[in-house]
Structure formats: structure tokens, C-alpha cells
Amino acid sequence: MVEHESDKNLTLLLKAMSDSTRRALLTQLCQQGASRVTDLANYYDMSLNAISKHIKVLEKAELVTRKTIGRTHWIEANIQQISLAENWFKELKSIWELRLEKLDEIMKNGGPNND
Amino acid sequence: MVEHESDKNLTLLLKAMSDSTRRALLTQLCQQGASRVTDLANYYDMSLNAISKHIKVLEKAELVTRKTIGRTHWIEANIQQISLAENWFKELKSIWELRLEKLDEIMKNGGPNND
DNA sequence: AATATATTCAACCATATGGTTGAACATGAA
DNA sequence: TTCATGTTCAACCATATGGTTGAATATATT
């Protein structure tokens, strides 16, 4: 299995998205484009530090990127990364469909060994 | 905001999917169709109880359903539920696109107030 | 140089999570 | 009735998570 690394990334991604505040941050970033940490934090009833930590989680999951200019950090959404999850969904669905097709085959032909 | 409830469901769903073992269980269920808890557990280097707990998490997220017949519980994948996440992705992307379109407009017309 | 702003780091805390083991419960088989 | 099977419940444990506060760091501004 070369699977391990991408599985870890998927875990990181889904965990990052599984928090309501972080999803709100992503939404905000998509709406507003690149934003400073302080500006983002103003929207939440939570300390700046908490938001800073949330952003770090999103960054590790590669859901956002950071460009530091002077003392201010510009955070930007990286929605491409979502495809990691989408691809997994797709794979899961195709596995599901495959089983249904095989069942269908059996129903039609009266069994898998009718040659 | 009537949002709250569906946001909680999304959190439940993404958290459920964010664990590697639970994703493996879902894959297994898609491949094999309805399965007993014990049968599922045999594939993992983990106690039956641990798997039982994972299944409960998937069940709360409505990613699987359970049909109890006698003493055995038949667990089945419910891949429909994935659409909850897919719809959120879609929404996020459309918010992203909307901003890009507006930017584009500004580039073309030299500003948002050129009437 | 002194002060203000933007941000992270570190330590701490409460609660959640993912695992374990040992009963308990429900049902099937001898 | 007795024993075996399928599953959950309960208590426990270590680590992760999401929040806090108080410094520390880096860079602007006066």
C-alpha cells in the first residue's frame, strides 16, 4: 500500500473541515479573498489566538495558504484541496456501484457461474 | 439562521469520515454490502468493541444504517448521506466563483461604479 | 528611541476521542 | 437448562482538541 500518505492527508483535510468555526473561516476567505488574521478574527466571539490556531490547522491541511508581508500575514483559501475529499467520495461511490452492478448481473443470469 | 441544525449534521458527518478506520469500514461496507459487526471487526487489528464504537459514530452521522435481526446487527452503508458534504463543497465553490466573477467585472469595466 | 500593531509561541485547562478490558444483555443451539 | 455467540454498556486511560491568558517576536509609526 502506497496509500498511507494520501490517507493521512485525507484525515488532515476532513478533520480540518469538521469544525464549524473553520468552515466559517473558509467561507469568509472565499467571499473576501486574501485576508489578514486580525480581520478574520473580528468576526468571531473568540480570541485572536484561537483563530490563529484554527488557521494553522487549515494551513496544515493545505486548505489555505499564507503570504507574509512585513508583520501581516495574508491568508487565502485554496479550494483546489477539496478535490482530495471529492475524489475519495467518488471512489467510494464507484465501489458501491460496482457491487450493485454485480448483483444486477446475478439477478439477470441466475448466478455468477452460468458459463 | 436556520443553519444551526444542518451545520451540526455536517460536523457530525465530516468528523465521522475523518477517521481512517471508519473510512475503511465504509469502503468495506460498500464492497460487501450489509455486514455483521463481528465480520467487519475481523479485518482490523483492534477489539470488537472499538469497531462497535466506530460503527455507532457512523450511525449517528447517518453514514450507515442498522437492521437488528435476532442477536445479529446488519450494518449497511448509506452513501446518500455524503451529499451533505458535497453540497457544502459546492456552495463554497460557488461563493469562490462569485468573487472571481465580480473581480473580472471590475477589471473589464474599470470599477464597480461606472454607471 | 519609544510605542503601537500584527502575529505567534507556550503553558494551561476542560472536554472529546479512540482505544482497552470486563460485565451485562439478548438470542440461538445442544 | 446450559452453553456459545453477537453485541452493547460502563469504567477506565492516554492523547488530541479547542479554548484561554500572558509573553515573546517582528515590524511599523511617531
A2-60 per-position pLDDT tens digit = 568 899 999 999 999 999 999 999 999 999 999 999 999 999 999 999 999 999 999 99
- Residues whose CB is less than 8 angstroms from the CB of residue A52 and which lie 6 or more positions away in sequence, other chains included: A37, A41
pLDDT of residue B30: 98
- Cβ–Cβ below 8 Å for B96 and A14: no
pLDDT of residue B17: 98
Kindly provide the ipTM of the predicted complex, given to two decimals: 0.93
Confidence of residue A108 (pLDDT cuts 50, 70, 90): confident
- Which DSSP string corresponds to A50-86? HHHHHHHHHHHTTSEEEEEETTEEEEEE-GGGGHHHH
Of B15, B93, B103, Cβ closest to residue A18 = B15
Write out the H or E segment, with its range, that includes residue A36.
strand A35-36
Q: Which of B2, B6, B88 is nearest to A17 (CA)?
A: B88
pLDDT of residue B104: 87
Chain D nucleotides near the protein (CB, 7 A): 5-10, 17-23, 26-28
Query: Which of A32, A95, A102 is best to mutate for the B interface (most B CBs within 10 A)?
Result: A95
> Domain limits of chain A?
3-80
Residue A114: is its pLDDT beyond 60?
A: no
Of B14, B30, B99, Cβ closest to residue A92 = B30
The CATH-assigned architecture of domain B3-81 is: Orthogonal Bundle (1.10)
Task: Determine the distance between B29 (CA) and C13 (C1') in angstroms.
Answer: 40
pLDDT of residue B4: 86
What's the half-sphere exposure (Cβ side, CA atoms, 13 Å) at A39?
A: 12
Chain C nucleotides near the protein (CB, 7 A): 5-10, 17-23, 26-28
Strand C contacts in B 59-78 (CB under 7 A): 69-71
pLDDT of residue A33: 98
Which residues of chain B, if any, have pLDDT below 70? 1-3, 111-115
- Cβ–Cβ below 8 Å for B27 and A95: yes
Query: Which of A23, A30, A87 is best to mutate for the B interface (most B CBs within 10 A)?
Result: A30
pLDDT tens-digit series, residues B74-96: 999 999 999 999 999 999 999 99
Of B33, B79, B92, Cβ closest to residue A92 = B79
- Domain A3-80 = CATH 1.10.10.10: yes
Confidence of residue A1 (pLDDT cuts 50, 70, 90): very low
